[in-house]
Amino acid sequence: MANLKEVKERIKSVSSTQQITRAMKMVAAAKLRRAQDKIIQLRPYSEKLSAILANVSAGNSDESMNTFAEEREIKNVLIVPVTSDRGLCGAFNSNINKALKVVANAYADATVYVMPIGKKANDISKKQGFKRIDAYWNIFGNLSFETVREAAEHAMNGFENGQYDKVILIYNEFKNVATQVVKSEQLLPIVQLVNEGEVAATGTDYIFEPSKDFIVEDLIPKSLKIQFYKAVLESNASEHGARMTAMGKATDNAGDLLKELKLMYNRTRQAAITKEILEIVGGAEALAADK
């Protein structure tokens, strides 16, 4: 059985750890609220833009309208995994790592490029030896639409000039505090809208207002950037939810461990006291016998 000093030190250590995990849970909860508000506000706008974009792409055969919808032979693939900058958030980052390996293996015959978003994604892609575009991994240091836009434009320009034939986003979609779902989403070429399993309406006649050029030059690129931004915000909210859950469980586990350690401390202390009493009684009896 451990001595009293060892048990007391373990209790102190676990108590200190519990204070840290409880504080981290509270910080994650505060950040989650702000991140959750952002993604909830952006979702309807993003979904509507994506629907318009898919309909316009499907319903117009003009080559200029389908610059970002052009299907090509897959020779070069850009994968954009979105993780966090820090750990202590459960399986949040490892799930993205697994998905990255699955997607990369699916395009084993092509040249795979990785544009990591988040420090953990940068470390993972570097360790696994992928060809990296590492100019945008620190986006979360100053998360805004402007910083994300630069990364989105790199992917869009690369697809437009033929550097990439497909662009895939991998991120955690925020469902609730306890649930984050890994998504592998094709950003480019644009996926045409399909309703309830039916083929997209490619024969739709559109009236462009103010002009077709405005649609091509403004709406489509803006929609793609918003879609990219939405993926980053989803991941950001998921990170805080995962960290809040992980730190909550760690705090509870520390509490359970403290109960066991305190019980062990009391038992050890009681055993030590009993031993001392027995020694005193034994000594007293020995003295009495001598007399």
CA angle at 151 for the pair 150 and 156, rounded to the nearest 5°? 95
The answer to whether residue 199 scores a pLDDT higher than 60 is no
- How high is the pLDDT of residue 196? 39
Closest CA to 151 of 39, 236, 234, 228: 228
Q: How many CB atoms lie within 10 A of CB 231?
A: 24
Q: What is the pLDDT of residue 200?
A: 46
Domains and CATH numbers, the chain: 4-20+249-290 (1.10.287), 23-246 (3.40.1380.10)
State residue 194's pLDDT score. 46
In one-letter notation, the amino acid at residue 68 is F
Cβ 116 vs Cβ 125: under 8 Å: yes
pLDDT value at position 47? 83
Please report the pLDDT score of residue 68 as a whole number. Answer: 83
- Determine the average pLDDT of the residues in 178-187: 92
Contact 172, 236 (CB under 8 A): no
Active site residue 89: yes
Pairwise CA distance, residues 175 & 178, whole Å: 8
Question: What is the reported pLDDT for 60?
Answer: 55
Strands 166-176 and 131-132: unpaired
Predicted confidence at residue 1, as pLDDT, reads 53
Range picked from 41-55, 85-99, 191-205, 262-276 for highest mean pLDDT: 85-99
Our measurement of the distance from residue 118's CA atom to the centroid of its chain's CA atoms, rounded to an integer in Å, reads: 9
Q: Residue type at 232?
A: V
In DSSP notation, 59-75 reads T---GGGGTTT-----S
| Mean pLDDT to the nearest integer, 85-94 | 92
Catalytic residue among 89, 148, 170, 244: 89
The chain-wide mean pLDDT, for the chain, equals 85
- Asked if the model's pLDDT at residue 197 lies above 50, the reply is no
CA angle 200, 204, 210 (to 5 degrees): 120
Which residues pair with residue 77 across a beta bridge?
Answer: 112, 166
